Amino acid sequence: MLAIHFGGGNIGRGFIGEVLNKNGFEIAFVDVNKEIIDALNDKHEYTIELAQEGTPQIKVNNVYGINNGTHPKEVVASFEKAELITTAIGPKILPYIAPLIAKGIQKRKAAQSTQPIDVVACENMIGGSTFLKEEVLKHLEKEDMDYVEQYIGFPDAAVDRIVPLQSHEDKLFVSVEGYKEWVIDESKLKNTDLRLEGVHYAPNLEPFIERKLFTVNTGHATTAYVGKFEGYKTIDEALKDDKVKEQVENVLAETGALMVEKWQFNAEDHKAYITKILSRFVNPYISDDITRVARTPIRKLGYDERFIRPIREANERGLETTYLVKTVAKALLYRDSNDEESQKLEKLLQNKSVEEVIREVTQLKDETVIDRIAKEYKQLAQ
Ligand SMILES: NC(=O)C1=CN([C@@H]2O[C@H](COP(=O)(O)OP(=O)(O)OC[C@H]3O[C@@H](n4cnc5c(N)ncnc54)[C@H](O)[C@@H]3O)[C@@H](O)[C@H]2O)C=CC1
Ligand SMILES: O=P(O)(O)OC[C@H]1O[C@](O)(CO)[C@@H](O)[C@@H]1O
């Protein structure tokens, strides 16, 4: 059984690889990072270490690498015998791998394969696989459409495991937190015979992905933007400051109220979920750089992303958004000289009014919310 996984980075090796290996798959990691690909082809195995007491290790074997930059045809050829396709490559990169996936699908069609297969995007975004499908369809012909609809599934998914930026002498070694959650929308599966152990199949993914994105990712990003504003470098360091911690708790109370109202999560259970998530952020075995969690602020300030969507949806329901709005203002002030989007944001704010920048970046139409964010920003920027 072969699985093709796009993105041999932290979550690819540190989570998806572990699950696929446990389920008996041979894994072809597709990546443009030559060092990673060469190491995979040299060793055919790697080690995951759990960042918890005793630091237990897990071996992942039966793996190899394909460099899609230099060997795209090899990627396409491997689609013929693959039984699962996954990605963990970053939302912005999905359009760049879409042409290869389209060619791979055409390869299966040419081989008259009637074995259904699923393409699962494991990215931090709502509707990741659906978005990838739209990108893939752009590279297919009209006559391919029936084949895609019949045999190729793009079920959305949510993945949750904290894997910080890290660097080891062994390029494949990866340290991850013990906690893990991978949920796949079973309603969009085509290969319904394949059920991965370690994956939860949900008839309706939306509550899971929203609860995860608007708690783990909103909470983490709040820690990062507020923490950076207060002068910290790492997530755990920032959360030791009560000012930061309180803002994170207040933000999660706001998104929590929305989740409880929208999806009828039990309020007490949701409180316990928040407590669990906060304890993961301060895991003493992990040092997570603020720059990783805050990366690409323009994307994170997007219309359907971790701040703006809860603000919009809470407003529609008359719920509180004071601390979400305060955090967006701090995100606008986030600066990292190595982050292109942060640099772009700074330039935008130098050349346009903050109201214009908020409209452009968040796509918000509600002028009252735009004014509230702008007011907070102006106070902070003084
Ligand atoms: N690190 C984490 O804790 C988690 C990350 N995620 C999501 O997983 C995705 C990947 O995140 P990480 O693994 O942290 O990032 P990463 O940077 O460690 O891994 C991404 C990999 O994609 C490769 N890549 C970039 N452009 C490529 C291209 N055009 N073709 C082939 N490969 C390419 C990079 O070389 C890298 O190895 C993101 O969407 C992230 O939001 C989701 C849950 C947890
Ligand atoms: O990967 P993104 O979307 O840039 O956001 C980083 C977030 O993703 C995670 O790595 C996993 O959900 C979190 O630790 C962090 O909040």
Residue 40 has pLDDT above 90, yes or no: yes
pLDDT band at residue 19, thresholds of 50, 70 and 90? very high
Closest ligand (CA of 164): 1
Please give the Cα distance from 46 to 330 (Å, whole number).
Answer: 39
CB of 226 sitting under 6 A from ligand 1: no
Ligand 2 atom index nearest CA of 220: 16
- Residues 66-81: what's their mean pLDDT? 98
Cα angle, residue 85 at apex, residues 129 and 31 outer, rounded to 5°: 100
Within a 10 A sphere around the Cβ of 377, how many other Cβ atoms?
A: 23
Q: At 95, is the pLDDT very low, low, confident or very high (cuts 50, 70, 90)?
A: very high
Q: How far is CA 99 from the centre of its chain?
A: 21
The finding on whether 234 has its CB within 6 A of some atom of ligand 2 is: no
Which pLDDT belongs to residue 191?
A: 98
Tell me which of 249 and 287 has the higher pLDDT.
Answer: 249
31 lines ligand 1 (CB under 6 A): yes
CA proximity to 243, closest of 229, 256, 233: 229
Q: Which two tokens stand for residue 31?
A: 């990546």
Q: What does the pLDDT average to over 27-45?
A: 98
> CATH homologous superfamily of domain 207-381?
N-(1-d-carboxylethyl)-l-norvaline Dehydrogenase; domain 2 (1.10.1040.10)
Q: Is the pLDDT of residue 309 over 90?
A: yes
158 lines ligand 2 (CB under 6 A): no
* Nearest CA owner, ligand 1 atom 25: 89
ipTM beyond cut 0.90: yes
Q: Which fold does the domain 2-203 belong to in CATH?
A: Rossmann fold (3.40.50)
Least confident of 159-168, 315-324, 351-360: 159-168
* Alpha-carbon gap, residue 154 to 245, rounded angstroms: 38
Q: What percent of the chain has pLDDT over 70?
A: 100
Q: How far apart are CA 123 and CA 86, in angstroms?
A: 10
High-pLDDT (> 90) share of the chain, %: 98
Name the residue ranges covered by the structural domains of the chain.
2-203, 207-381
Cβ atoms of 334 and 228 within 8 Å: the answer is: yes
Candidates 279, 278, 288; CA nearest to 233 is 288
Instruction: Please name the helix (run of DSSP H) or strand (run of DSSP E) that holds residue 120, with its range, or none.
Output: strand 117-121
Report yes or no: 259 and 209 within 8 Å, Cβ to Cβ. no
Whether residue 280 has its Cβ less than 6 Å from ligand 2 = no
Contact 320, 257 (CB under 8 A): yes
State the pLDDT at residue 382: 83
Mutate which of 11, 48, 94, 179 for ligand 1? The one with the most ligand atoms within 8 Å of its CB, which is 11
Q: In this model, does residue 340 exceed pLDDT 90?
A: yes
Mean pLDDT (the chain, rounded)? 97
Positive or negative torsion for Cα 222, 224, 230, 236: positive
In one-letter notation, the amino acid at residue 227 is: G
Q: Burial letters for 304-322: b for 16+ Cβ neighbours within 10 Å, e otherwise?
A: ebbbbbbbbbbbeeebebe
CA 172 distance to own-chain centroid: 20
Q: What is the pLDDT of residue 321?
A: 98
Mean pLDDT, range 88-105, rounded to an integer = 98
Indicate if the pLDDT at residue 202 is higher than 90: yes
